Structure 1
Amino acid sequence: MSSGHPSEADESGFLSLTPERARVLLLVAARPATFALSAIVVLALVTLLAADSGLAGASGAIAASWLAVHQVPLVIGKTTLGLLPLLPTALLLGAAGRECYHAVAPNSSRTELGWVVGAALGGPLLLTAVCLAVAEDASAVVALQPPNSLASFGWVLFLHLLAACAGIALRMRRRIFDLVRAPEWAIAGVYGAGRTVLRLLGCAAAVTLVSFLAHWGAVGDTYRSAGNAWGFIGLTLLSLAYLPNVVLGALGVLMGAGANFGAASIGLFGVVGGPVPAVPVIAAVPTGPAAAWWAVLLVIPAAVGALGGVDAARTSGDRRTAPWATLTSAGVATLSLVLLGALAGGELGSFGRVGLELPIFALVSFLWLAGAGYVGLVCARYFIAPVGAVLPGYDYDDDYDADYYDTDADYYYDDSDDYESDGYRYADDDYRDDEYYDDRYYDDDPHDEDDSLYEDEPDEALDGELIDEPPTPTTAPRQAAPDIVDAEVIEPDADLDPHPDARR
């Protein structure tokens, strides 16, 4: 929302709200929630019409769906529904984080950040209050118990605050690193943790796909109970919505922790049978005894952890602090995975609790990532020389010749002393082309000293006289020397110089 230095008036005018800023904040507050609520309304109406149940419970279904998207446990009749799909939640939070990312600039003031965070939380909280009131009224028509208000507001506040902070942190990561003065190994560990989490989720998704193909017959049997085309579509959408939950369960199995389905459980070293929901995405879960070769799958977390250690060796210029980068990466990755695992589980009616064994999952995840990561770090020191990769947002040395530049970001940092600016230089103006751009917040004054135009200026004339060299002695007749020409120095008019302070 701003690209210049925050002024004192801007910092003190927290309650001032210009029309341009109001438009941006309205998009942050309303657009993700509006799209999500529109999709919920369409799905609820289509489901009720396909089931020939009428529209009497439409309002209650819409309100309950909004709360379910935010992982608020619901009680329908006497059935507790705490195992909620993660895909709708991920899509909504991703959209909310993207709005916050584009609503701020890399050097936005605290006032602007406060407005953006307030808007990101205000819209969803307002809709949650409306949905709670609707659910209270609908409980007299449908078998839906009113949800706990404190838990509902808490979940909505936590998830949207997390999304807003993530979007703003990605946009302003250079400024955050500069303010925190985080050491190199900490920054390397954070970036390594992100790569490790993505690799583990990718491996778990691949194993889930292989399990689907191996149990294709069981998946087909669940569709036979669909009845008609609407039932087929409903089961497919339900399976897609719960697919991230299943992937996280597969990740827990790969780590050696195991996953529980009420009385049933599955692990690499044993399988306990029991009733499971008749959903296509659950039908891919193995039900037979554990095979001996399943233990080979432990190579996957070991390989990912070792690769994280190799990354720490390659991106750490200081060999002494590289182990701290490995431990930081393992700790941050474990914390992220445990948080995702907690969101992926919950109570499911008569089946009981479905999800990972979180204490064991946290322990084995850290051991795999830290232990195998250290082995990879040691091996990399013998086979791969540390390249000292320049990490985004970290100034390694004041005497470093090159400015560190992130090709994935919209700006880079120039630490040269001969440029009078705040240090931030913009690589491109893509973020100015989006719908959030407004002249009020982006200072494009061509007469600004920080954005001086490098125009050609008239060269200053030198005082002096033009004197011919003495003639060389030759046999030719001597000629008279030309008169001395006086050179008059003409100084450029200061009033005509458009940028008197632009000279370097």
Structure 2
Amino acid sequence: MSSSRNSLVRRTGGSRAPKPHRGVDEVGFLSLTPERARVLVLVAGRPAAIALAVVVILALGALLSAGSDLAGTSGAIAAGWLAVHQVPLTIGKTTLGLLPLLPTALLVWLAGRECARAVEPDSTRVDLGWIVGAAVAGPLLVTAVCLAVAEDASGVIALQPPNPLAAFAWVIGLYLLAAVAGIVIRIRRRLVVLLRLPDWAVSGLYGAGRSGFRLLGCAAAVTVLSFLVHVPRVGETYHSAGNAAGVIGLTLLSLAYLPNLVVQTVGVVVGSSAQFGAASFGVFSVVGGPIPAVPLMVAVPTGPWAWWWVALLLLPAAIGVLGGLDCARNSTDRIDAPWATLTSAALAAVALVVLGAIAGGELGTFGRVGLDLPIFAVIVFAWLAVPGYAGLVFARWFIVPVGAPPAEYTDSDDDECYYDDDAYYDDYPDVDHAHYDDDGYYYYDHEYDGPELEGELVDERPAIASRHEYHSETTPDILDAEVVEADLPDNDPVDGR
């Protein structure tokens, strides 16, 4: 019979076939191969080991350059680890809640990259759970040790032990964010299909990312430009450095706090204001006050206010319009239903508010440093929603017609990270449509009049089994198949019966 293999199979009697998988299928949670165990050890240990090594080097360098003894080395290392994870510290009577963002961002990126590398094309939900657990468990163990060391070192140095719940919450939150971000970036197309998100939600998510990065990029450009304008004042900030080690320390400190200042500048660019204790600055006013004597802080304007600063408001307006144009090209938004545009503005505002909350905090005697978050959230949403809607309307009238299909959101290099159903069924042209139900099983949506294969499930796979046992050659067959011959015309004999 010359029909294709696919023409012999169809869904009968409510039977379901499992979704094709390129590797192993779902196995028990307690099953773990040596190869996966090695990968999980790297996920749990490599980011924490690199961060701890850098903290040790910096702590020893700071103590040796200051001519101090090494009695408080363990306490300084523990404080450095906690500070990298944004855990507020109290040294003597001074509270340090404004901690540098750059080391934290690099650590989150490193952990997310490690998690992304651990994801394989055939990774199951259990594998992903192992990856997330390993990414959080390793740093939690180091944090517990650092808390104990800080408690013990409080009698030697003026470091008060931080709140353990706050420390564990920060560590869990940061590494959970890193793990989820790394996994989502790795399998984003497969995840969109699994969650069955509407196209406007996906478009809004990607639009929020673009708008947020554009605002941060413009704020970084404004910060660098202001620094270059006031660069003659940089020499004054190095007078208290004392020696070359002090100069290097102040420079590294400025670089570490650069992302914090960029986030504060976002508030200034959108029309809000940034507060530095008693001082504040924005596009409409400048209030003088004491600021830290750090080279980076020369970028902060001290006054007087200039009218042309209002021109900075053109930046968020232009970003909002670009966001609307992007949503018009990459979604099915209509003028009377701009759901992707509004979702993009809302998600970008939420992300920037969270970033603004992390970038601020108490700074000793200077007081609170940060943004007025409620006002900042409303202003960011307004700048991205109103001009964004204007850009959407313009695009629908003159550029992209209504009802244009959403753009592709994945790159060609991540095809190995999802199940390409079309490619899987290229060898079976008789199947018109293959669908998946809620449980991950597929069925065929076509009619066939030829012989059919009826199957009956006679055995089930154990809930917990090793992958080797499941895929060994001795695994018993799970289907008892029977070929049912269809009635064939008498005048059309078939060769090879």
**TM-score above 0.5:** yes
Deviation at 1:179, TM superposition (A): 1.7
Structure 1 spans left out of the alignment, 5+ residues: 394-404, 424-439, 446-490, 492-504
| Letter matched to residue 17 of structure 1 | L
Query: Which residue is 2:67 aligned to?
Result: 52
TM score, norm. by length of structure 1:
0.78
C-alpha displacement of 1:17: 2.4
How far apart are residue 109 of structure 1 and its match? 1.1
Contact 2:187 2:414 in 1 (8 A): no
Structure 2 distance, partners of 1:234, 1:16, is 49
> 3-state DSSP class of the match of 1:319?
coil
Q: How far apart, CA to CA, are the structure 1 residues paired with 2:244 and 2:74?
A: 25
RMSD: 2.6
Quick check: 1:291 aligned with 2:296? no
**1:104 CA displacement:** 1.1
Q: In the TM superposition, what whole-angstrom CA distance separates every residue of 1:85-123 from its partner, at most 9, and x where no partner exists?
A: 000000000000011111113552111111111100100
**Which one-letter code corresponds to 1:415 in the other structure?**
D
1:7 aligns with 2:25: yes
**1:341 — aligned with what?**
356
CA distance in 2, matches of 1:107, 1:199: 35
Aligned match for 1:113, one of 128, 139, 143: 128
Is the partner of 1:84 in helix, strand or coil? coil
Corresponding residue for 1:415?
422
Report the AA paired with residue 88 of structure 2: P
1:125 equivalent in structure 2? 140
SS at match of 2:422: coil
Residue 343 of structure 1, CA deviation: 0.5
Contact 2:220 2:262 in 1 (8 A): yes
Give 1:319 deviation, angstroms: 3.3
Q: Secondary structure at the match of 1:80?
A: strand
> For 2:71 and 2:427, how far apart are their aligned partners in 1?
67
Task: Report if the CA contact (8 A) 1:190-1:329 is conserved.
Answer: yes
Deviation at 1:408, TM superposition (A): 4.9
Larger Rg over CA atoms: 1
**Preserved contact between residue 102 and residue 258 of structure 2 (Cα < 8 Å):** yes
Letter in 2 for 1:224: H
- Contact persistence 1:74–1:147 (CA under 8 A): yes
Correspondences of 1:344-383 after superposition (within 5 Å): 344-383=359-398
In structure 1, what is the equivalent of residue 6 of structure 2? Answer: none
Between 1:62-71 and 1:107-116, the stretch displaced more is 107-116
Structure ranking higher on relative contact order (CA contacts 8 Å, 6+ apart): 2
Matches of 2:50 and 2:300 in 1, distance apart?
Answer: 33
Question: Do 2:78 and 2:146's aligned partners in 1 also have CA atoms closer than 8 Å?
Answer: yes
| Residue pair 1:45, 1:58 contacting (<8 A) in 2 also | yes
Relative to structure 1, is the Cα distance of residues 110 and 414 closer, same or farther in structure 2, using a 3 angstrom cutoff?
A: closer
Aligned length in residues: 416
Kept in 1, the 8 Å contact 2:329–2:404? The answer is yes
Q: Which residue of 1 aligns with 2:411?
A: 406
Q: What SS class does the counterpart of residue 265 from structure 1 fall into?
A: strand
Paired residue for 1:168? 183
Any stretches of 5+ residues in structure 2 without a counterpart? 1-19, 429-433, 437-466, 473-495
Letter in 2 for 1:355: G
**Are 1:313 and 2:328 an aligned pair?**
yes
Please give the secondary structure, in 1, of the residue aligned with 2:90.
strand
Show the 5 A alignment for 1:185-204.
Answer: 185-204=200-219
TM alignment of 1:258-269, pairs within 5 A: 258-269=273-284
Equivalent-residue separation in structure 2 for 1:357 and 1:259 (angstroms): 7
Matched, 1:97 2:118: no
Aligned with 2:220 (options 194, 199, 205) = 205
Q: CA deviation at 1:390?
A: 4.9
Alignment of 1:15-164 (within 5 A): 15-164=30-179
Instruction: Decide whether aligned partners of structure 1 residues 357 and 234 sit closer, same or farther in structure 2, where only a CA change above 3 A counts.
Output: same
Distance (Å, rounded) in 2 between the aligned partners of 1:280 and 1:389: 50
| Residue in structure 2 matched with residue 400 of structure 1 by the alignment | none
| 1:478 corresponding residue in structure 2 | none
Q: CA deviation at 1:255?
A: 0.8
